[in-house]
Amino acid sequence: MRTPNRTPDAALLRDAAAIAAAMIAVGASFGAITIAYALPLWLPFAMSTLVFAGGAQFLAVGLFAAGNPIAAIVAGLLLNARHLPFGLAVSATIGPRLRDRLIGSHLMTDEVVAFTLRETDPVRRRRTYWLIGITLFTSWNAGTALGVLLGGVTGDPAQLGLDAAFPAGLIALILPSLRDRSTRAVALTGAALAVLLTPVLPAGMPVLCALLGLLVLFVPRFRSGLRTPAPAAASDATPAADPGLASGSAPGSASSSASAAAAAPGSAPVSLGGEA
């Protein structure tokens, strides 16, 4: 994030390598789990290439193993419904060519979208989308194969702390967007709603309910994100530039408490829940 502008591609490659390493490890645990569940050997490969959505894959194999393929379909599709709004957001980045759209759509994951929205320049966005997309597809499938080969040896990803690595990586990627005051209000409200609804709604629904966070834009003080012709809302904080606040946000108590909240997600959604 603090990467010097002169070597943007080296920085991007380094980030891609980091996320690839994590994907190989988690992919391996996915492959190993399918073996542990005694599911057919082709299954992890078919899922990692054709479905290519980590969360839905873990959820679905659990339900397959429990003998409930219908539930696997319903839960998996519910979990993946967020890709529709993601597609709306990255459509311009993927570009107008049909071939790019057909292939680029399949590469769409949370991490790709997060990496892409971090960039401001359209050319860099496009490069980032394809580089990260192809990297993740390759590393996820390599990891899956590794997990199938190694079987039980790969162990629990939690022991390596990988369950903490992914949310932390996502937070790092969306932080530049959160420097925009309206986006921050929407995202923190959405995150709080999702956490609060997780115990009561089926998997996938709580994250979709985060879209209701957009309703805070009806609150007059957060409306500026829509009215002022600021450059693309997700991108008005330049990655390298000023550590202060982006032009749109007032350095008042509200925004500094929101910054503190964003920096400590362990407690943030809970404390924000009271406000929301």
Among positions 40-59, residues that touch other proteins (CB under 8 A) are 40, 43, 46-47, 50-53, 56
The tokens for 172 are 């790092």
User: Which residue lies nearer to other proteins by CB, 14 or 221?
Assistant: 14
The tokens for 14 are 């380094």
Separation of alpha carbons 93 and 131, rounded Å: 13
Candidate ranges 135-143, 145-153, 245-253, 268-276; the one touching other proteins (CB under 8 A): 268-276
Residue 184 CB, nearest approach to other proteins (Å): 9
User: Which residue lies nearer to other proteins by CB, 39 or 131?
Assistant: 39
Residue 252 CB, nearest approach to other proteins (Å): 18
* Helix (H) and strand (E) counts in the chain: 14, 0
Candidate ranges 88-96, 128-136, 137-145, 147-155; the one touching other proteins (CB under 8 A): 88-96
Candidates 41, 77, 149, 153; binder of other proteins (CB under 8 A) is: 77
Judged by CB under 8 A, does residue 112 bind other proteins?
no
DSSP run (H or E) holding 13: helix 8-36
Ramachandran region, residue 148 (left: φ > 0; alpha: ψ -120 to 50; beta: rest): alpha
Q: In one letter, which amino acid is 64?
A: F
| Residues 140-169 close enough to bind other proteins by CB under 8 A | 158-169
Quick check: 43 and 30 in contact, CB under 8 A? no
3-state helix, strand, coil in the chain (%, to 5): 75, 0, 25
Candidates 4, 220, 243, 274; binder of other proteins (CB under 8 A) is: 243
The tokens for 18 are 């980091």
Judged by CB under 8 A, does residue 263 bind other proteins?
yes
| Residues 182-211 close enough to bind other proteins by CB under 8 A | 182-183, 186-195, 198-200, 206-211
